Amino acid sequence: MKNIGVLALQGAISEHVEMIRKTGNSPVTVKKPEQLNELAGLIIPGGESTAIRKLILRYGFMEPLKAFHKAGKGIFGTCAGMVLSATAIEGGEESLGFSHYTAMRNGFGRQKDSFEADLAIDALGKAPFRAVFIRAPYLLEPGKEVEVLAYVDDKIVAAREGNVLVTAFHPELTEDERLMQYFVDVCCEGI
C-alpha cells in the first residue's frame, strides 16, 4: 500500500481519490506543500491549467513540486496536469518541466471538444482502454527519453518518462483502474 496524493487546488479531485482507493492504496488530498513529504506519488489532475498554475504559485507549490520530481517520486499528470508537466506549452505559458514534450492545449479543437475513444495501450495488456477526453491537449515533440503509450489518430495522448506518466484524457472517469495500477507499480516507489 502506497500513499498517493492528488493535488487538490482545482479540478477533478474526488474521482482520483476513489480510483486510488480502488487500487488498494492510500489517497491523500494535497492542499499544502508539506504533505508532499509523505507521498510515493502525486496526481496533477485535469481542470484548467491556467487556474492550477496560479494556485501552485499562490500556495507555494512551485519549488516543492520541482523537488518532488527531482527526488524521483511518481507524478501522474492528467489533461490539465499533462499540460503543466510539459517542458513547454504551445503559446508560451509557463510549465513545470517534468517530462520532455510540448503540450498543445485544447489540441482537438472545437468539433472534438469532448469525446471518448478506445485506446490500444500495450503496457496495460490486450483489452482496449476506454478514454474520456474533455477539451483535451495532446503531446508534441516528445524527447527521446519519452516512451509513447497511446495515440488518437496521429496525436500522442499518453506517455511515460521515468517516473512521470501523462495522459491527455481523464482515466479517473471510467471504472478501469489499470492505468492507476500501472502508475503505482511502475512510477511510484514504496513509502
Residue 83 interacts with ligand GLN (CB under 6 A): yes or no: yes
Residue 135 interacts with ligand GLN (CB under 6 A): yes or no: yes
188 catalytic per annotation: no
Give CA–CA dist 45/171, Å, rounded: 10
Catalytic residue among 16, 69, 100, 170: 170
| Partners of 7 in the β-ladder | 30
Binding-site size, ligand GLN (CB under 6 A)? 12
Closest CA to 9 of 62, 74, 54, 75: 54
Question: Closest CB to ligand GLN among 80 and 150?
Answer: 80
141 catalytic per annotation: no
Residue 171 interacts with ligand GLN (CB under 6 A): yes or no: no
Question: Closest CB to ligand GLN among 28 and 104?
Answer: 104
Residue 16 interacts with ligand GLN (CB under 6 A): yes or no: no
Q: How far apart are the first and last CA of the chain?
A: 8
Question: Closest CB to ligand GLN among 28 and 80?
Answer: 80
69 catalytic per annotation: no
52 and 84 in contact (C-beta within 8 Å)?
yes
Residue 47 interacts with ligand GLN (CB under 6 A): yes or no: yes
Task: Specify the stretch interacting with ligand GLN by CB under 6 A; choose among 20-28, 60-68, 129-137, 150-158.
Answer: 129-137
The DSSP call for residue 113 is S
Give CA–CA dist 65/134, Å, rounded: 25
Cell triple for 181 = 495500477
Give CA–CA dist 96/84, Å, rounded: 6
Q: How many CB atoms lie within 10 A of CB 58?
A: 10
Residue 79 interacts with ligand GLN (CB under 6 A): yes or no: yes
Pick one of 134, 146, 150, 180: the residue that binds ligand GLN (CB under 6 A): 134
Catalog residues that contact ligand GLN under the rule CB under 6 A: 46-49, 79-80, 83, 105-106, 134-135, 137
